[in-house]
Amino acid sequence: MSSPENFADRLIQNIKLKNSCVVVGLDPRLSEIPTNIQLSSTRKHGQTFNAAFKCILDFNKHVIDIVAMHAVAVKPQIAFYEQYGSFGIKALEKTVKYAKKCGLIVILDAKRNDIGSTAEAYSNGYLGRVPLFENNSVKSYDVDAITVNPYLGSDGISPFVRNSNIYGTGIFVLVRTSNPSAQEIQDIECETERLYKKVGRYVYLWGSGTEGYNNYRSVGAVVGATYPDEAKDLRELMPNSFFLVPGYGVQGASAEDIVHCFNKDGLGAIINSSRGIIFAYKDPHWKEQYGERNFEQAIESAVIKMKKEINLTRAKKTSVNS
Amino acid sequence: MSSPENFADRLIQNIKLKNSCVVVGLDPRLSEIPTNIQLSSTRKHGQTFNAAFKCILDFNKHVIDIVAMHAVAVKPQIAFYEQYGSFGIKALEKTVKYAKKCGLIVILDAKRNDIGSTAEAYSNGYLGRVPLFENNSVKSYDVDAITVNPYLGSDGISPFVRNSNIYGTGIFVLVRTSNPSAQEIQDIECETERLYKKVGRYVYLWGSGTEGYNNYRSVGAVVGATYPDEAKDLRELMPNSFFLVPGYGVQGASAEDIVHCFNKDGLGAIINSSRGIIFAYKDPHWKEQYGERNFEQAIESAVIKMKKEINLTRAKKTSVNS
């Protein structure tokens, strides 16, 4: 079966193929990476950004090899790469390529946004083609989707929507983030409702026309698992938008908290866990059983456990409503 | 005189030294760069990202050499570098180093934000020190300040404020952006006032305690020149915050529009122009006089003209209020 041309369709195809709504966050904190991998980088390259590049890429490949069967997507958090300058970005570029080759959808967590002409540069870099010399253009990062910030309004969003339509890529706009202080701005009372709902309405408007043949849209929303009531509201407000749901696991949300993120068809949400999977060997739940030496088995057990938990939740949703 | 340790103080020292509040935006669009510079890159490196790297860096050095005397700061817009992957970031890194060596303050326009633990990675990369192996840490981009997005609330801001205090760096938080659709989100009526004002109040709160000996803060605000009434409101609300003011020139704002961004002391604002300076040779105002061959003279004339216009505006402000 050939790959569909709409991002939401490609996502759904991969969800069904793997029977999984799990997204694994690739947030490679050097100090948490198993010592052996750290040492094999520093032995050759010392305390350098080049060693950081090798170490991150090496670790990510281990993670990807294990989760490729069980996760629908990976979500590299660009901050953990970008902080190491061009070396970090090189690690990201190679990670993206490797993950795609392994059949994973790549959602870059970058939370980018800017005024129109600048948003276009971001959008070309991540979702489209960047201009070279003499009107030539080429693909650059070539990810499947990117997270985007709404604060600048539609000017900063439409270049991403445009490329999503042309290249079969997608975006997830921050609506309700998972962090504690999300409340400060996102819960400000606006007219008759809180800000995050107004933003949700905008995002739904911005995504109009990006539906694939499954009727889901390529413009989705970031909706934190740590705010289940808000997720329920947003599910009603944006029925055929995909939710990218952070906050599961280490950030405190359980499978119970994410039930409202799904639709009756068991679709409409993908759930991210980062540290809880990739550094599972440090998690009290797996530490004793595996330890650092068996970090790969810890990753595998953690991702399979998460997949099962989430599929149980999805099953509840579909059975209640059927 | 040694360099003060507070970002606002360093900024003020440089404003006084150069008698200038001009910020030159380094947004290197390849197709706008003079043909000779493009050709000398592609002749050696073909249609590659490496050629883009050489071309951008070469052009930026020309710009920096000219504006260093007349501008207080440069503001690289990271999107125009980042889109070329690790090659683009390398061009950014080298541009930052060169600009600092030439006595310019570097404000990176990146509009970053995320949940706390991720914002820390951004903050370490741009304003502090990034972790390497065995508890070592080093400086990475080492810019003077960065623009930051407020949508996630204080979690996403405090890691930047912390590093600003430790390393004498600073941030400018988006309060009122310069683009037309800024209105969609930032003008939503919240309780008794519009959202941008609420955000302004938060930013003022977040910046408390970052004052230098001039009493200005290292936590500033982005306030678009294209919204003069809003700038006036915010000036009252945030009396000792520095405003980074985009929107001057090509985006449509005049010297008249920015008068309210300044305080009575003639300080409190720095004004950015990007295309209007670096690609002045294409501007109808300078095109005939200079043309592509004399792009350097066009840059020089444009930056000097802008400096004078803004200093006239500052003078009005100080005389009206004295």
Residue B205: the pLDDT is 96
For A27-182, strand residue ranges (E) read: 73-76, 105-112, 129-131, 137-139, 145-148, 170-176
Residue B306: the pLDDT is 97
- Which residues are bridge partners to B194 per DSSP? B189
Kindly identify which residue of chain A lies nearest to residue B180, measuring between CA atoms. A155
pLDDT-based confidence at residue A319 (cuts at 50, 70, 90): confident
What's the rounded mean pLDDT across residues A19-27?
98
Q: What is the pLDDT of residues B12-27, one digit of tens each?
A: 999 999 999 999 999 9
Q: Residue B4 above 80 pLDDT?
A: no
Would the CB atoms of B154 and A183 count as touching at under 8 Å?
no
Greater confidence (B247 vs B24) lies with: B24
Residue A253: the pLDDT is 86
Percent of chain B with pLDDT over 70: 98
| Single-letter residue type at A202 | Y
A contacts of B130 (beta carbons < 8 Å): 83-84
Residue A1: the pLDDT is 42
Q: Out of A165-174, A263-272, A280-289, B165-174, pick the least confident.
A: A280-289
What's the rounded mean pLDDT across residues A239-264?
92
Q: Is A156 left (phi over 0), alpha (psi -120 to 50) or beta?
A: alpha
Helix segments in A115-189, DSSP class H: 116-127, 158-167, 182-186
- Gap from B295 CA to chain A (nearest CA, Å): 19
Give the active site residue among A61, A100, A111, A282: A111
pTM of the full structure: 0.97
Task: Say what the ipTM of the complex is.
Answer: 0.96
What's the rounded mean pLDDT across residues A57-84?
98
Would the CB atoms of A185 and B152 count as touching at under 8 Å?
yes
Q: Are A108 and A95 in contact (CB under 8 A)?
A: no
Residue A224: the pLDDT is 94
Q: Residue B199 above 60 pLDDT?
A: yes
Q: What is the pLDDT of residues B29-45, one digit of tens each?
A: 999 999 999 999 999 99
**What Cα–Cα distance (Å) separates residue A9 from each residue in A67, A170, B236?**
21, 11, 50
Would the CB atoms of A141 and B52 count as touching at under 8 Å?
no
What's the rounded mean pLDDT across residues A298-306?
98
Q: What is the mean pLDDT of chain B?
A: 95
Residue A252: the pLDDT is 84
Q: What is the pLDDT of residues A191-242, one digit of tens each?
A: 889 999 999 999 999 999 999 999 999 999 999 999 999 999 999 999 999 9
> By C-alpha distance, which of B218, B120, B238 is closest to B175?
B238
What's the rounded mean pLDDT across residues A55-74?
98
Q: Is B11 left (phi over 0), alpha (psi -120 to 50) or beta?
A: alpha
Would the CB atoms of A118 and B198 count as touching at under 8 Å?
no
Q: What is the pLDDT of residues A90-145, one digit of tens each?
A: 999 999 999 999 999 999 999 999 999 999 999 999 999 999 999 999 999 999 99
